[in-house]
Chain A
Amino acid sequence: MADTDATGTTVDPANWSCPVPLRDHPVIVMGHGGGGALSGELTEHLFAAAYGNETLAALTDSAAVELGGARLAFSTDSYVVRPLFFPGGSIGDLAVNGTVNDLAMSGARAAYLSTAFILEEGVGLDVVGRVARAVGAAACAAGVTVATGDTKVVEAGHGDGVYVNTSGIGLIPQGVDIRPQRAAPGDVVIVSGPVGAHGVAVLSVREGLEFGSDVVSDTAPLGGLVAAMLEVTKDVHVLRDPTRGGLATSLCEIAAASGTGVVLTESAVPVPDSVAAACGFLGLDPLYVANEGRLVAFVPPEHADAVLAAMRAHPQGAGAAVIGTCVAEHPGMVVARTGLGGTRVVDLPLGEQLPRIC
C-alpha cells in the first residue's frame, strides 16, 4: 500500500503489483470450449496425451484416415448453442453444416452423417420436431445422408433443452492433401465471404445483450464451394472454417502448424456494416467472431486468381476476397497491416470473446 501523509498520497511503484490471472483452472470453464488457447491446451495436453495416436495429433478439423484403400475424412462435433433458434438458422442447421464443413476442410464431400440428440426432460416435442426438420432440410441441401442416430434423455435441469452431436464421413479425392502444415511462404490467403455474421446473429438474441439487427447467421454447407475450388487445382494447401474464435484464430493456428508467417491486410477483410456496428458497441473484434458458413484458403500464388474466380462464381463464395499472404518472416505469427498503415500482432484469444466496456 502506498504511503499516505499529510500532503496526500503518492504512488509507491515498488508495491504496485497487478492481478495474476488464473490459467491453471482445476475445473472446466467456458473458455475451454471457446475455441481459443484454453481449448487448444485441453485438446493437446489432456485428450491427445491420453489417446496417443498420430491421426489425432494432427489436430485438423477432420481426420484423414485410410480404410480399405480409400482415403476418408472423418469428423465429429457437438452443438450446444443457446438459444436453439436464432436469426438465420437453428442448432439443427449448425449440426449438419458444421460437420459437413469440417469434412470439406479436408477436401472431402460429406457422404454420411450420424446424429445424436441429448434431450432434457420437459422440452417440447414441437421444439425437437423443429430441430429435426432443420436437420433434415440442411442434410438435403448439403447432399448428405443421415445414416444413423441416437437419442438420450437427461433429467430436467441437466441440459439446455437440446444438444446435438453429429459425426460424418466423406471421400477425399485422389491427389488432394489439404492440411494446415502445408501453408508455405508465397501462399495467397483467401476468405470466402464477409465474416462475423453468425456470432453477431446469436449474440443479438442472447439474454442480457439483445439488440435489433438485420444480421442473420451465415450457416451454410461448404462442400460444393470446396469441390469447385478443387476443380481449378488439387494443390490447395490449407482450408479452414473459422468457427469459434473466428478468422484470427484460424490464421493463428495455421501459422503455428506450418511455421510460416501470415500477413493480413485488415482493410481487405470483408466485414458487413451491421456486424462492424454490433462489434463496435459490444467491444468485440470481428476477426474473432464465429462464422458457420465461411472458409479461409491458403493457395499457391500461381493458382490464386483462378481459385478466387471459381469461388466468386459459386453462391457460397460470391463475396470471396484476398486478405493476405504467407511470408518467410516472423514464422508462426500472424501480423495485421492496419487501415492506417500500422502493424499489430494478431494473437490467439485465451477463451471466448466477451462484450467489454474498457
Chain B
Amino acid sequence: MRYIEEFHDPELARRLLDEIRATVTRPWAMMEVCGGQTHSIIRHGIDQLLPEEVELIHGPGCPVCVTPLEMIDKALAIASRRNVVFCSFGDMLRVPGTDRDLFRVKGEGGDVRVVYSPLDALEIARREPDKEVVFFGIGFETTAPANAMTVHEARRLGIGNFSLLVSHVRVPPAVEAIMRAPECRVQAFLAAGHVCSVMGTAEYPELAERHRVPIVVTGFEPLDILEGVRRTVRQLERGEHRVENAYPRAVREAGNPAALRMIEEVFEVTDRAWRGIGTIPDSGWRLSDAFRAYDAEYRFDVGDVRTAESADCRSGEVLQGLIKPHECPSFGTACTPRTPLGATMVSSEGACAAYYLYRRLEVAPVG
C-alpha cells in the first residue's frame, strides 16, 4: 500500500461514479472548501465525469485567494528592505498586492526565496546570522503546526534573526460566514481532509446541525473526491445532515493532539480579514504574547502600508456559486486567462479559468 496509486484506479472510479449516478435524482450544489481538492478535481477532469445534477462550487480554501491585501502589502514592504531575506512558499510569489507582487520585489533586487518548509527558512537564518530572515506564514489549519513549531524552535535554539509574518486562517468560521449569506446556494460541504488531520472533526457537528448541511470530510486523490461526493449526495437525497469521515486513513476524530497543543501554545485566535470577503470574527491565528518578539509585523514597522483593491471582479460571487463565471460582465471580455481581473481567472484550477477553457473547448469550431 503506497496510498496514492491505489486511489487513482479508473475501475473503482467508474463504480463510484455509477453509484453517484444511481443515487442522484435532482440537482445539488456542494462546495469543496479546499483549493487542493479543486486542483485535484480539475487535474483529473472529475468535474467532467460527474452527472450534471452534481454541481461542485470551488470554495475559498486557497491562501492565494484569501490572504488579505494588507498582509500582502506588508510582505512586499518587508521583502523590499535591505538585509532582509524573505522566504515564502511558491504559491505566494504571484499574488498581487496593491501595486506589485513578490516576483516584482525580487526583480527590483529584493532577496525573495522559495522554500519547501518553514524549517528551511529557519536554517537560512542560522546560516546567515547577519541577515533578518522572515517567513511568510500563510495557510490554513494544516500549515499552522509547521509554522508554530518553527517559531517555537527559533526561540528554543535562540535564533533571534528569524521572524514570522503570520496570516493564518481557520476553516469553520469561513463555513459559518458562507452559510449565513442570505443568497447562499451551498447545500453541503466536502470538508478539507488535511485540515481535519490536524484539527479532527469536533468543530463540524454543530455547524452541520445549525445550518442543516451534510459535511463530509474528504481526501484529495480522485477516488477520495468521488467518495466524498458519493456520501454527500446520499445524505442530501435522504435529507440527512450529518458529519461523515470519508478520509479515515488520515483523519481521526481527535485530530493530532500534539499539533493542537503546539498551536495552542504559539498562536492565539484573532479576527482575520479574508481578501474579498472582509473580516470574519475569530477566523484566524496570530502569534501569542509569549512569541510576539518573533512576529515580523512588530519587528518591522509596517503599520503605514496603504492598500487599494480593484473592485471590478465578481469572483466572490462565483466562489459561492451565486453566479456562474460567464454571468460576470467582465467574463471573456475584460477578463480572460491572458488578462485576468481576479484570482479565479489566474490559475488553471480557478473557477473562471476552468470555465473559460471549457467554453472555448465547447464552442471551438471544427477546423
A10, chain B: closest CB distance, angstroms? 4
B350, chain A: closest CB distance, angstroms? 9
B130 within 8 A of A: no
- Interface of A, secondary structure class, is loop
Among residues of B, the one whose C-beta sits closest to the C-beta of A27 is B107
Q: How many residues of A contact B (CB 8 A)?
A: 61
A345 within 8 A of B: yes
B202 within 8 A of A: no
Contacts A280-B4, A331-B365; is A343 near B45 (CB within 8 Å)? yes
Q: Give B98-148 interface residues, CB cut-off 8 Å to A.
A: 99-101, 103-104, 106-108, 113-116, 120-121, 124, 139, 143
Q: Give B43-69 interface residues, CB cut-off 8 Å to A.
A: 43-49, 62-65, 69
What residues of chain B lie closer than 8 Å to A17, measured between beta carbons? 276, 309-316, 342
Among residues of A, the one whose C-beta sits closest to the C-beta of B120 is A208
The answer to whether B177 touches A10 (Cβ under 8 A) is yes
Contacts A18-B342, A208-B115; is A342 near B278 (CB within 8 Å)? no
Interface string of A8-31 (1 = CB under 8 A from B): 111111111111111101011111
Interface string of A330-358 (1 = CB under 8 A from B): 11010111111111110100110011111
The answer to whether B322 touches A357 (Cβ under 8 A) is no
Report the Cα distance A29→B96, complex, angstroms: 14
Interface string of B297-318 (1 = CB under 8 A from A): 0000000000001111111110
Report the Cα distance A1→B280, complex, angstroms: 10
The answer to whether B10 touches A2 (Cβ under 8 A) is no
The answer to whether A341 touches B277 (Cβ under 8 A) is no
Chain B CB within 10 Å — which of A328, A339, A350, A357 has the most? A357
Selected contact of B93 from candidates A259, A336, A354, CB within 8 Å: A354
B210, chain A: closest CB distance, angstroms? 11
The answer to whether A345 touches B277 (Cβ under 8 A) is no
The answer to whether B366 touches A28 (Cβ under 8 A) is no
Among residues of A, the one whose C-beta sits closest to the C-beta of B139 is A357
Report the Cα distance A29→B100, complex, angstroms: 11
Report the Cα distance A335→B360, complex, angstroms: 11
A105, chain B: closest CB distance, angstroms? 25
The answer to whether A9 touches B279 (Cβ under 8 A) is yes
Report the Cα distance A285→B275, complex, angstroms: 27
Report the Cα distance A209→B113, complex, angstroms: 10
The answer to whether B113 touches A29 (Cβ under 8 A) is no
B157 within 8 A of A: no
Chain B CB within 10 Å — which of A11, A260, A341, A350 has the most? A11
The answer to whether B45 touches A357 (Cβ under 8 A) is no
The answer to whether A20 touches B341 (Cβ under 8 A) is yes
A30, chain B: closest CB distance, angstroms? 6
What residues of chain B lie closer than 8 Å to A22, measured between beta carbons? 96, 99-101, 104
Among residues of B, the one whose C-beta sits closest to the C-beta of A353 is B90
What residues of chain A lie closer than 8 Å to B191, measured between beta carbons? none
Report the Cα distance A13→B181, complex, angstroms: 8
The answer to whether B316 touches A341 (Cβ under 8 A) is no
B178 within 8 A of A: yes
Contacts A10-B177, A20-B342, A28-B107; is A1 near B278 (CB within 8 Å)? yes
What residues of chain A lie closer than 8 Å to B313, measured between beta carbons? 17-18, 20
A119 within 8 A of B: no
The answer to whether A19 touches B104 (Cβ under 8 A) is no
What residues of chain B lie closer than 8 Å to A342, measured between beta carbons? 44-49
A214 within 8 A of B: no
The answer to whether A30 touches B311 (Cβ under 8 A) is no
The answer to whether B90 touches A340 (Cβ under 8 A) is no
What residues of chain B lie closer than 8 Å to A357, measured between beta carbons? 63, 89-91, 139, 143
The answer to whether B104 touches A208 (Cβ under 8 A) is no
Report the Cα distance A347→B311, complex, angstroms: 27
A98, chain B: closest CB distance, angstroms? 24
The answer to whether A209 touches B115 (Cβ under 8 A) is yes
What residues of chain A lie closer than 8 Å to B62, measured between beta carbons? 358
Interchain Cβ contacts under 8 Å between A and B, 10 examples:
A8-B180, A12-B181, A13-B317, A16-B316, A18-B343, A30-B106, A208-B113, A350-B94, A351-B94, A356-B89
For the A-B complex with A340-B44, A355-B90 known, give 17 more contacts whose Cβ atoms are closer than 8 Å. Answer: A9-B176, A13-B181, A13-B314, A14-B317, A16-B317, A16-B320, A17-B316, A18-B341, A19-B276, A23-B340, A27-B107, A208-B113, A329-B364, A337-B45, A339-B44, A340-B13, A340-B45
